[in-house]
Amino acid sequence: MANNYAAVLYGPSDLRIEKLPMPEINDNEVLIKIDCCGICGSDLKIYSTGKCGLVNLTEPVILGHEGAGVVVKMGSKVAGLAVGDRVAIEPTQPCRSCELCRCGRYNLCYDPNYCSTPGSPGNLCQYYKHVADYCHKIPDNLSMEEGAAVQPLAIAIHACNRAGVKIGSTLVVLGAGPIGVLCAMTARAMGATKILLTDVVESRLKTAKKLGADHTLLVKKEYSDEEVVARITDTLGTAPDITVDACGFASAQRVAMMVTRSGGTVLVVGIGAESVQVPLTGALLREVDVRGAYRLLNSYPQALAAVSSGAIDLKSFITHHFPLQKSKEAMEFAKTGEPMKIIIHM
């Protein structure tokens, strides 16, 4: 009998490698031998604080929701997959019956069973079960690591869809972490012509420049919101059509509402504090649309197709690798802000 070791989070910074029973699948599920799994900013938040956005750690949970692996067993009602298929795991398992699922917005499901949240194990394990129709075949020309990294790309695609990025868009992305950089790469592939990324870490801006930003701006602690706005518009030569907050800081959300052109769009994808003070009235009087993007929606097939066709290059986005046994070290390293995308191998 094969072993099933997993990285289980018990509380803030309390991550343990444990041997768990083999999952039992039902008729609509597949058993996957996980090959690798990426670390996400939300993993990091829940690892560091025990909470992230609407999710609170109320019981031990297996971390990870950027998994890729091989199907080793199938339920009797599964169609469209075969044992031996390499799959990227879309981390949700929505209820399919609530009003939001029924109208096609399954990312807002009231009972989403999203990987690595209480009651829904994550992918940092050797064997994992998932509903078959949220497992996507990985194209032959993609590596397993790219298959895992498709998850944050699918989030970026959903964010850019929500923001209305189109040919000729001028875009500012606040935060050059993985999601921010992927939003810039996605916007470029969707036709955005001027892209500026900001961050407080110089090394991330260097990576962003290599991966598709036209301009970067290092935001220093002593800058006021007004100064950041002025530096962005000076660098771009114009106010942006769209500003994406990919870091979740209150200062970024304030800057987004101030810098976006009248009639433009602010898109918030970074998960911030529960309540934030922002200059909303000024933005609304200029008819700036303020929108959120939550997780992902119907964007896995788009993401896999974009990487397979060469429209988006994920290879250069993946920067560091760790074995499962060193998951805690990987989390601590991710906290430094130095890596772009860490992949953990089982």
pLDDT tens digits along 272-308? 888 999 999 999 999 999 999 999 999 999 999 999 9
DSSP 8-state assignment for residue 315: G
C-alpha to C-alpha distances, 93 to 61, 137, 345, nearest whole angstrom: 16, 17, 23
Does pLDDT of 45 surpass 70? yes
Q: Point out which residues pair with 199 in neighbouring strands.
A: 218
Task: For the chain, give percent helix, strand, coil, nearest 5.
Answer: 35, 25, 40
pLDDT of residue 1: 62
Place 34 in a pLDDT band, splitting at 50, 70 and 90: very high
Cβ-contact 233, 222 below 8 angstroms: no
Q: Give per-residue pLDDT as tens, 137-193.
A: 999 999 999 999 999 999 999 999 999 999 999 999 999 999 999 999 999 999 999
Cα within 13 Å of Cα(325), Cβ side: 0
Q: What is the phi/psi pair of residue 53, to 5°?
A: 60, -120
Q: How far is CA 74 from the centre of its chain?
A: 28
| β-sheet bridge partners, residue 128 | 32
**Phi, psi (deg, nearest 5) at residue 334:** -60, -35
Banded model confidence at residue 136, pLDDT cuts 50, 70, 90 = very high
With the C-alpha atoms ordered 320, 326, 328, 333, is the resulting torsion angle positive or negative?
negative
* Per-residue model confidence as pLDDT tens digits over 60-115: 999 999 999 999 999 999 999 999 999 999 999 999 999 999 999 999 999 999 99
For 70, the enclosing helix (H) or strand (E) is strand 67-74
Burial grade of 246 (CB within 10 A; 0-12, 13-18, 19 or more) = buried
Question: With the C-alpha atoms ordered 106, 111, 114, 117, is the resulting torsion angle positive or negative?
Answer: positive
- Structural domains of the chain, ranges and CATH numbers in brackets: 5-137+314-345 (3.90.180.10), 154-292 (3.40.50.720)
List 87's β-bridge partners, or say none: 69, 137
- Among 289, 303, 292, 296, CA closest to 270: 292
User: CA neighbours within 13 Å on the CB side: how many for 41?
Assistant: 21
Tokens of 257: 């509402």
The model's pTM: 0.95
Q: What angle do CA 329, 332, 334 make, to 5 degrees?
A: 110
Tell me if 307 sits within 8 A of 141, measured CB to CB: no
